[in-house]
Chain A
Amino acid sequence: MDSVGRHAARRRWPVILVGSTLLATIAVAAPVPPGVRVPFVLWFLGVCPGLAIVRLARLEDGLGELVTGVALSFALLAAVAIASIYAQIWQPYVIFGILAAIALAAVAVDVARTRSR
């Protein structure tokens, strides 16, 4: 990817990640059928927290970033969910909130670092 393309991607992904987090939050909170929630919630759980973090590493390889981001999202979801089960405080909405906070915090750091350069 050339420098112009990289710059565009750098600006595009934070918007996508924040937008996805907001849409997933609305989907979870709104009284809508499961079928409507599926794309928003699964996209968020499977992609957003991990990709937001992986983007901080600046791998400059779209496939590598996406694959690592998805795998890390699953790992984070599993880690938070399992910890809460064994702590006997399993609350899916709290787990969702923690993951959303992780995603938004990572995006904030990413944007701040991009601006400071």
Chain B
Amino acid sequence: MTTEQLTLPRSPPISPTPSTRPLVISLVTLLTGVALWGVGVSRIKLGRMNDFGLVSVMPIEVVGALLLVTLSFVITITMARARPILVLLDLAVLVVMLYGLFAFAATEPTGEVTWRHIGIVDYVRRHGTTNPQIDAYFNWPGFFVVAATAVKLLGADSAIIFVRWASVVLNVLYLGPLIMIFRSLTSDRRLIWASVWVFLITDWIGQDYFSPQGFTYFTYLTVLALMLTYLSSSTRPRPAWISRIPFLSPWGEAQSARQPPVPQNISRRQRGFLVGTVAVMSLATVPEHQLTPLAILLAMTTLVVVRRFDAWGLPLLLATGIAAWSMFPASEYFAGHLSVLANEIGLGTAVSANVGGRLQGSHDHTLVVDFRLLYTLIIWAVASFGVLRRMRSGHWDLSAIALTIAPFILIVLTPYGGEMVLRVYYFSLPFVAFFCAAALLPSASSSRTLGATRLFVVLLLLIGGFQVARYGNAAYDYFTPQEVAAIRHMYAVAPPGSLLVAESPDLPWKYRDYENHKYALVGTNIWQTGVTIKPFNLRALIRSVTTLINQNRRRGVYVIVTRSQSIYLHAAGNTPPGSLDRFARALERQRGVKLVFHNSGGWVFTSGAEGATGG
């Protein structure tokens, strides 16, 4: 018997002929869930979402399907003999249900940033170079260059080919390194599977889309997995001082001898090979993303400090790589933003940008934002309980505790557009999920049925919370085919050099000919620390548009008003419903402004003399 089995939820004794009934029940439950989900997704009306996002239109069948897949998982991991293939099937179905809903139900890619990413890939594909003058993304162009290379090799016209399934594919990719990480922390299979499950149902940040962050997060997880398994330097027992705390040492000194699973034995040559591999992987993230290399650097340094990783040259090498990239290829960005970045350093600015800046908008949207904060705090609280529970049972998860805390150092470095708290949550999530699972799994002493029921209920609550937290912005992240058609028409008629104007940034534009147009927002300010929506003022908006038209008489000016902008302004800016309709009608009456396109998704106006068409 291993030491882990002494304390963690013990697998029931294996009988010579285990019953196949739980297996059949689990499989039937899962398949019923899949069928129900298919029916639900075919009925979903995404265009009717309100400020609560996806949950406002979620059919009962989808809710039932999530309930059934959770039930199947709980039955599977509490079976007498664990069936890895069935657990993997449960996980695969969960990934599709949580991250693939929009791939099935929406006809167009969601999220304005996705469209901008497509535009940057399009630029690289057409020019074979980067251009930091157009967009700050070009200072870290790795992801876009990789995508452009793949687009060209596939003979496709655009990176839109990757977008629909990106979230599902990325989450499937994450499963491998996650399992390796959890295997390094425990030998209890149920805890490993439960940790993966909890990770998937609490990853509400929404960075796993066609993005540099989503792509490099896989490298982040893989580097962590390699450092915690093959390259882990020691298995130090928990310190003696913990045994002196009564609550944490209920079973005496014998418990303190427990150690994490032994690292995998590898030869010196294999070790050298893997250190080189980690170096290549880590350095490759430097031109791909601003933040991920810093998170890897922090993780490496943390493990060196707690003496679980002794290749101290790696963090030095990575730090040199990050510094070199900042001083040379990305130097223009830092030269232009140095004063802003310097002012942003500090905890006060970080809290104000990350929390204060997000607690605004309509009543319903504010509820969603409040809920996200509460959900995050609950998950962190459950994880803290898990840490104590593990310590109480004699496990000293030093690496996992240190790697949970390490990303918080990022908060004081920069608010990162008001998103740093979200990224901290994201980078610490693998270990938070592990400790949550350790807190939730029934103990060996509790009744099997009661423990499984309790686990089922809590997982169900977490999955429900995930739907609100993750897809709470879905109403304005979702674009109808009509509004995409309006934007396509704008690009079709706007000559190169035109100024394209929108009220707010939430629309599917910049996906083509990025360098050929100028862009302006009249109702929103984009700051380094986030987006500020100006109070809605129809006269001021019209004045801004006419000023832009007067200032840009030599080039065409196109104003686009879409459904998604209207929803965004109401949700995030608390403007009265229909405000943008008033803006569009006022523009229609404005002298010198012509309507060139109109459908149920939006309006396109120009300062030129083209006639209107419908779509």
Contact = CB atoms under 8 A, between A and B. Distances in A.
Interface of A: 28, 33-34, 37-38, 41-42, 45, 53-54, 56-59, 61, 63-64, 66-68, 70-72, 74-79, 81-82, 85-86, 88, 90-93, 95-96
Given A57-B274, A67-B176, A79 B280 contact: yes
Contacts of B571: none
Contacts of B219: 71, 74-75
23 contacts: A33-B155, A38-B161, A54-B277, A57-B274, A58-B270, A59-B266, A64-B230, A67-B180, A67-B225, A68-B226, A71-B223, A72-B281, A74-B284, A75-B219, A75-B281, A75-B284, A77-B149, A78-B146, A85-B141, A92-B148, A92-B152, A92-B153, A95-B149
Given A67-B176, A74-B215, A81-B149, 5 more contacts: A64-B264, A71-B223, A78-B143, A78-B145, A78-B287
Interface stretch (B41-49, B51-59, B123-131): B123-131
Interface in B139-184: 141-143, 145-146, 148-150, 152-156, 161, 173, 176-177, 179-180
A12 to B, nearest CB: 19
A85 B161 contact: no
B146 A81 contact: yes
B280 A76 contact: yes
Contacts of B132: none
A42 B166 CA distance: 13
Nearest to B329: A86
Contact of B173 (A28, A63, A70): A70
Interface residues of B, number: 45
A36 to B, nearest CB: 9
Interface string B352-376: 0000000000000000000000000
Contacts of A91: 128
Contacts of A59: 230, 266, 270
Contacts of B229: 64
A99 B281 CA distance: 16
Contacts of B155: 33-34, 37
B399 interface: no
Contacts of B288: 78
Given A57-B274, A67-B177, A72-B280, A38 B154 contact: yes
Contacts of B156: 34
